[in-house]
């Protein structure tokens, strides 16, 4: 989701005051949701042993790091955490000008036989996740792939669902959901805004 | 960017984009499946009118790793030996639907002609034209230096040898100065172009003076095939004054690296001990060449800035 949905949220939310962006999750909401997701991942997989967390750049990587820290705090054992760029696997790669690649970092030990938990900020059409599944297939053969997202905003265009959801957020297609994280944007928040007036 | 014809056309941002992309492409070499789907269904033609080993193989490997279809064309054994013109060759490639044409030609400006003539719709990548330019070589050299030295801003880079005939030297001077490096070219007076004032670099005839303040030294090949005049008295004299041997290498700062675009004349411009030393990054340059060419092919061919017009004309011509 990140590159398509969040070109430059900071600049846009400042320049378009009339769109009245609404904060739906604040910093403590996000923190609680991630803590719950961390516990759910551990519960479902019976511990941290088989897990590899892969964040989808940009903000999925920050979220994966945070979930990883929470798992480490609970289990006393860190899980391998990395990032997975899906740019070259996107189905719209031919329709847009060439895009810069994001960093892919597969943890040492690889993903063969592991449970890969993909982490992204917003689940929308599902196309990013489809691209990510293809990318994973070129890297190895995990035992299973699961999906954790901070926000599920609906409007799926592919048969894909999330295993762990921070918040289900019913939205209309004219709205834009933006996740702000301290690492990239200076503060933690999930903001919903009208696309009209924003140069989409 | 639609074509890559000259290192001088590349802005600093574009150069950094290519180098950053290459950094990601390079990690592919460590994966079990060395293949990315970015150029699936695209056709890349390697149009080589001049002999080449590493450049052609490098472009071929790069295109194949990005899932493009690769057609290799070399002048030997083709209709060019029957007298076919560049134009007719280009029209043939256009009719076959080439999305990218990688061109190596003995005449300076041939890729420029291909790109601007309207014979082809695809992107043209200059893989070395005459004594003019070789931009992907400069990019891979800059990439290799950046991996060893960090940012090239303010780095002192010395290019030694036959600058007069070297497309590698020209492309490197243009690109490295764009990236903020201080470039010095060192050569015998006979092997420097007549007027160097337009080149964004310093010149020197004295290699020993330049070496102690160099972060990287690039030795150029003495191109015997272009040495039809007496540019220097003898090979031995050239080696003595401009060859890099162990004693000269010892004058370099501790971190400095030695590059060579290949193919090397061991014992001529570079001694075997230097070529095989730990400072030498010559083999690494070849590895990085594939990554750089993947980055260039990806950035030029994967997207479509003007799909509507290009796609329709391509279809009309190929239909």
Q: Is residue A47 assigned to a domain?
A: yes
In whole angstroms, give the CA distance from residue B280 to residue B302.
34
Q: Is residue A10 assigned to a domain?
A: no
Q: How much is the pLDDT for B228?
A: 67
- Reference A127, options A94, A87, A97; nearest CA is A87
In whole angstroms, give the CA distance from residue B149 to residue B271.
23
Quick check: A108 contacting B, CB < 8 Å?
Answer: no
One-letter-per-residue 3-state SS of A66-85: HHHHHHHHHHCCCCCEEECC
Quick check: A104 contacting B, CB < 8 Å?
Answer: yes
> Could you give the number of structural domains in chain A?
1
Residues from chain B that touch A140, judged by Cβ atoms under 8 A, are: 32
Q: Is residue A95 assigned to a domain?
A: yes
Q: Is residue A134 assigned to a domain?
A: yes
CATH number of the domain where residue A101 is located: 3.40.50.2020
Q: What is the pTM of this model?
A: 0.89
The per-residue pLDDT for range A8-31, each reduced to its tens digit, is 444 444 444 455 789 999 999 999
Q: Is residue A189 assigned to a domain?
A: no
Domain limits for position A50: 27-173
Classify strands A81-83 and A51-55 as parallel, antiparallel or unpaired: parallel
The per-residue pLDDT for range A78-101, each reduced to its tens digit, is 999 999 999 999 999 989 888 899
Helix, strand, coil percentages, rounded to 5, for chain A: 35, 25, 40
Q: Is residue A2 assigned to a domain?
A: no
Q: Is residue A83 assigned to a domain?
A: yes
Q: Is residue A187 assigned to a domain?
A: no
Q: How much is the pLDDT for A194?
A: 86
CB burial of B254-286 (b: ≥16 within 10 Å; e: otherwise) equals eebbbbbbbebbeebbbbeebbeeebbbbebbb
CB–CB contact B298 A93 (8 Å): no
Looking at chain A, which residue has its C-alpha nearest residue B25?
A: A101
Domains of chain B as residue ranges with CATH = 7-134+289-318 (3.40.50.1370), 135-285 (3.40.50.1370)
The per-residue pLDDT for range B80-126, each reduced to its tens digit, is 777 888 999 899 999 989 999 999 999 999 999 999 999 999 999 99
CB–CB contact B304 A94 (8 Å): yes
């Amino acid at each position: 989701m990140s590159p398509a949905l969040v070109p430059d949220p900071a600049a846009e939310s400042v320049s378009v005051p009339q769109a009245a962006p609404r904060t739906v999750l604040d910093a403590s909401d996000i923190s609680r949701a991630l803590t719950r997701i961390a516990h759910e991942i551990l519960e479902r997989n019976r511990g941290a042993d088989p897990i590899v967390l892969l964040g989808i750049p940009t903000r999925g990587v920050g979220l994966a790091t945070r979930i990883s820290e929470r798992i480490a705090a609970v289990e006393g054992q860190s899980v391998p955490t990395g990032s997975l760029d899906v740019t070259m696997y996107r189905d719209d790669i031919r329709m847009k000008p060439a895009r810069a690649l994001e960093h892919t970092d597969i943890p040492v030990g690889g993903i063969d036989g592991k449970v890969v938990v993909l982490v992204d900020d917003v689940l929308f059409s599902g196309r990013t996740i489809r691209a990510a599944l293809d990318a994973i297939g070129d890297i190895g053969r995990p035992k299973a792939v699961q999906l954790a997202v901070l926000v599920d905003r609906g409007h799926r265009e592919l048969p894909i669902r999330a295993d762990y959801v921070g918040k289900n957020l019913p939205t209309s297609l004219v709205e834009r959901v933006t996740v702000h994280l301290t690492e990239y944007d200076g503060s933690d928040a999930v903001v919903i805004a009208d696309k009209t007036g924003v140069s989409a | 960017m639609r074509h890559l014809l000259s290192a001088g056309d590349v802005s600093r941002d574009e150069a950094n984009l290519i180098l950053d992309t290459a950094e990601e492409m390079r990690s592919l070499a460590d994966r079990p499946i060395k293949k990315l789907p970015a150029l699936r269904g695209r056709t890349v033609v390697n149009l080589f009118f001049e002999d080449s080993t590493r450049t052609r193989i490098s472009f071929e490997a790069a295109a194949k790793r990005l899932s493009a279809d690769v057609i290799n064309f070399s002048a030997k054994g083709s209709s060019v030996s029957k007298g076919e013109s560049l134009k007719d060759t280009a029209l043939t490639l256009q009719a076959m639907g080439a999305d990218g044409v990688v061109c190596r030609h003995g005449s300076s400006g041939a890729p420029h002609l291909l790109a601007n003539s309207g014979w082809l719709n695809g992107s043209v990548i200059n893989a070395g034209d005459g004594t003019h330019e070789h931009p992907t070589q400069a990019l891979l050299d800059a990439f290799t230096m950046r991996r060893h030295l960090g940012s090239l801003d303010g780095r002192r880079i010395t290019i030694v040898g036959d600058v007069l005939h070297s497309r590698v030297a020209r492309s490197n001077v243009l690109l490295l100065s764009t990236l903020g490096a201080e470039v010095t070219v060192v050569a015998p007076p006979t092997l420097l172009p007549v007027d160097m004032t337009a080149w964004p670099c310093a010149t020197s005839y004295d290699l020993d003076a330049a070496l102690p303040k160099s972060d990287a030294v690039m030795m150029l090949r003495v191109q015997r095939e272009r040495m039809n005049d007496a540019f220097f008295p003898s090979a031995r004299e050239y080696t003595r004054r401009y060859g890099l041997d162990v004693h000269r290498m010892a004058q370099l700062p501790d971190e400095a690296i030695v590059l060579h675009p290949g193919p090397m004349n061991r014992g001529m411009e570079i001694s075997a001990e230097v070529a095989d030393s730990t400072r030498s990054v010559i083999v690494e340059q070849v590895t990085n060449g594939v990554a750089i060419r993947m980055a260039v092919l990806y950035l030029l061919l994967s997207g479509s800035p003007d799909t509507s017009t290009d796609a329709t004309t391509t279809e009309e011509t190929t239909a």
